[in-house]
A and B are shown apart, each in its own frame.
Chain A
């Protein structure tokens, strides 16, 4: 642009900065945690809050807050699910909500001595898959009230509910509904 006049820069007097040197990002005291420089390894934080919807499974979680354990039954083939699902895996038809019995049996179990970071502080804890009479599938839950060496398949268990609901599946947990004794051969 031939007609453009030269930009008048600020005074070049000693001790004053040119315009280009006045453009600076504001500095903060937010540093970076560095673990290593060869190769350069640093801490990188990440977190997020979701607006998580239980959608078609919502009644199950609301049910837990009312002391009810809801499963599903296929309206066509009558397959019964202990963990709810809106449509039948066997025939594809819609299911209806059913109330499960609160008494069941341990189908299988484990005691976790380590875990994901989120649950590490809760170790050791027992996980059980619970079977209910007349229901085709199982339900995953925690079990309290028995030590590892007292856990066994077929143990009779009963559902308990949190008083202050978290609206997650831990609102229900199971406890032994028969006396616990050391398992045969348990170390």
Chain B
């Protein structure tokens, strides 16, 4: 397979409701932003595209993908829709990678969107819960916050994770977003603020949970030949990993940990895995991506991570799946400040989903855009001159490296992609 580069990206500012723009216009805005950032790329050089959106219910328009594609003027070139719940954007990014890596395309555009404001919040929660088993799970009280609450209650029971540690994730990510003009929410919070906000599903409060959003994002991926020609600072995609798990949480096995290279089986002698406290799909995605990118120990070999923090609890669970700490130590990992902007490995310097918003089909691509800007060193340029959240490379001995992580369902589809700064 050929090397693949990201050469540009664009996003719309995510908002609770954007009734002035249809999904097509939002996609167009993010696409035009990306095109402006790489002026040497001519539209006729684009070989095709992939499009992602999660829910036909929110859109109430089947085949909305082709409507975005014709709006961008990319017909009759190839296009297809990619969908996989919350990981829709991450899967779309990887589909564009596949198109270029396989040699089918030299330039492939990945764009995604969601328009979640078209129904009220509680109807929106219903639509999202339809992405759980509609025979066995949804009718019992289908509510994703409830599912995640059950997972973290077990995490707390197994490992002693505390509600204050969950709240620390919300505080950290919201603080980072104070310096991200693209973020939907700009909140300076304390642990008490998070704990005192209305309880949604014990122990998760409103400030432990991301909100719904309207928005779009776009990434342009290219072969080495094109990247060298049109982009002064392309970012290389060096690792692609994907994992899956059973739709129903109740079906998850209670077996042995899927180990990463740096892990020792003796760490987990008494742990039943993944149970409902861990995401085997996330672990498998990380394992494959690390193998692909040649990562031995992620805490040393990565400079930053943008991960799917739809819930504060899932950020803590994901630290463990990604091998940043041992299983069970995710709570301590946030507490020690390791994932803070100035920590050993900044996690969600953008503010994550909790602060930036989560227009599902756009989210995984938004993470790629933020990671792209981080690796280019161009955060300030795209952020009204504010470079506070720009992460500096940790080591000179290797290229600066970022990880993006996109996550669906109760951990059903998870993608991990590794991106690297090029030496030029």
Contacts and interface: CB of A to CB of B under 8 A. Distances in A.
A109 B248 CA distance: 15
A128 B120 CA distance: 27
Interface in B228-271: 246, 248-254
A142 B128 CA distance: 20
A128 B146 CA distance: 10
Contact of B135 (A117, A118, A128, A169): A169
A102 B136 CA distance: 18
B60 A46 contact: yes
B149 interface: yes
B125 A116 contact: yes
Mostly, the A contact residues are mixed
Interface in A94-113: 107-113
A30 interface: no
Contacts of A133: none
B136 A112 contact: no
Contacts of B137: 140, 169
Interface string A38-59: 0101001010000000100100
Contact of B248 (A83, A113, A141, A153): A83
B141 interface: yes
B249 A138 contact: yes
A140 B249 contact: yes
Contacts of B199: 113
A103 B249 CA distance: 20
Nearest to B149: A110
B339 to A, nearest CB: 25
Contacts of A137: 250-253
Contact of A113 (B136, B198, B251, B252): B198
B143 interface: yes
A83 B202 contact: no
Interface in A38-97: 39, 41, 44, 46, 54, 57, 81-83, 85, 89-90
Contacts of A114: 122, 125, 143, 145, 198, 200-201
Contact of B157 (A36, A54, A153): A153
Contacts of A122: 141
A126 B276 CA distance: 17
5 contacts: A113-B202, A140-B248, A153-B153, A169-B137, A169-B139
Interface of A: 36, 39, 41, 44, 46, 54, 57, 81-83, 85, 89-90, 107-120, 122, 125, 127-129, 136-142, 148, 151, 153, 168-170
